[in-house]
Structure 1
Amino acid sequence: MNTERFNKLKENFKNRNIDVKYFDSLDDVKLYLLNTVPLECKVGIGHSGTLQKMNITNLLIQRGNVVYDKELAKNKDESKAIKKEALLSDWYISGSNAVTVDGRIINVDHSGNRVAAITFGPDKVVIVVGVNKVVDTVEEGVKRVKNIAGPLNAKRAGYNPPCVELNKCVDCSSKERVCNYLSIVEGQTDCNRIKLCIVNEECGF
């Protein structure tokens, strides 16, 4: 991501009361998180291939944080309970499906727990995004989450809505669709709540 484009993105998010940080690698983000997230706090994790690649859940647990990550659940009931606990955590760390240069954070969810926590609940939210998810406008962002993130997430989770085979959204009503909740963050009232971390790597989908 070139400097001019990042500076434009950062300024647009600043105008929407959201701070943006730039990192050369996921290792740099990992170090930032471990130095920033307090040891005594409870941390919720929004399911993300990017965060799994960082192994941040295990690193936080190993050092003593209480972590709510649905990937640690043994069954659906436990997964639901963990997702509810994450909504009340002190910090919430998540990936995102798309970020726009004009200053929006766009996500699509299956059950809605991730977009709910990003919107309200945890006192602090850190969103980690690879440069592959940066697009220019909200229209491009929505297109990305529906036609790229949606089909890939469905396939990863073992669902089979039409988009998995077609590699594009057809606005289906399938019971197996994973894009039930579309969220667009356009700003925030508390400038210290959501922090956006842009990583100069291709991460997740």
Structure 2
Amino acid sequence: MKDKIEKLITNFKLRNIEVIYADTLECAKNEILNLVPTNISVGIGHSATLQKMDITKILNDRGNTVFDKELAKDKEECKVLKKKALLAEWYITGSNAISTDGQIINVDHSGNRVAAITFGPDNVIIVVGVNKIVDTWEEAIKRVKNIACPLNAKRAGFNPPCVRLNKCVDCTSTERVCNSISIIEGQSVKGRIKVFIVNEDLGF
């Protein structure tokens, strides 16, 4: 795994994406809190990893303005918070898969998370467990569709065919969660995206 992470760091650097290694999620959380200024707005992309960090509450408590759809009281407020997150100064999220070749792959139900990662906030932090590292973007797509999507759909209370079959069948179900797929292969602004690799199995 050490060689794989070193290769990943090298390849992402060539693509203007910074990689920061952390032994534990707690270490990553502390580094992120030191990195993100107080009294600025932070958008949150829904993630089981971030929920485990309890990052939204911590940022709120210290004075940041946090736009997290999980704080919404209803669907309308959820939509408003997702839109506000797109214009936040910083954005923190997880990822469904990353490749040692240097790609970040994410899938979304409504598209808010992949949109914010691509454009909007001036700074983006992505927190990823080592379980989501694969060698190529093709393997990353397979991981996203056949592992992340079924588990995330089930967690969110949706029931597309992949939940039952444990694999993607490219369905047209109204409960499909993989409506938008993003492949980030580089950044025009050096260091805009910072990827935290955590030496733990995290999320789906």
Bin of the TM-score, shorter chain as denominator length: over 0.9
Query: 1:40-98 CA distances to partner (integer Å, 9 max, x unpaired)?
Result: 21000000000000000000001010000000001100000000000000000000000
1:91-102 matches, cutoff 5 A = 91-102=90-101
* Structure 1 partner of 2:4: 5
Alpha-carbon distance in structure 2 between the residues aligned to 1:11 and 1:38: 27
* Structure 2 partner of 1:116: 115
* Structure 1 partner of 2:161: 162
Alpha-carbon distance in structure 1 between the residues aligned to 2:101 and 2:184: 12
1:1-205 matches, cutoff 5 A = 2-205=1-204
TM-score scaled by structure 1? 0.99
How many residues of Structure 1 are paired with residues of Structure 2 in the alignment? 204
1:136 shift after superposition: 0.4
How large is the Cα RMSD of the aligned pairs?
Answer: 0.5
Q: Which runs of 4+ in 1 moved over 4 A?
A: none
1:4 shift after superposition: 1.5
1:192 shift after superposition: 2.1
Alpha-carbon distance in structure 1 between the residues aligned to 2:62 and 2:121: 21
Alpha-carbon distance in structure 1 between the residues aligned to 2:175 and 2:59: 33
In structure 1, stretches of 5+ residues that fail to align are none
Query: 1:143-201 CA distances to partner (integer Å, 9 max, x unpaired)?
Result: 00000010011101111000000000001010100000000000000112100100000
Partner of 1:182, secondary structure, is strand
- Using the aligned pairs only, state the percent identity: 67
Alpha-carbon distance in structure 2 between the residues aligned to 1:80 and 1:153: 19
Deviating more after overlay: 7-16 vs 92-101: 7-16
Partner of 2:3, secondary structure, is helix
TM-score scaled by structure 2? 0.99
1:3 shift after superposition: 2.1
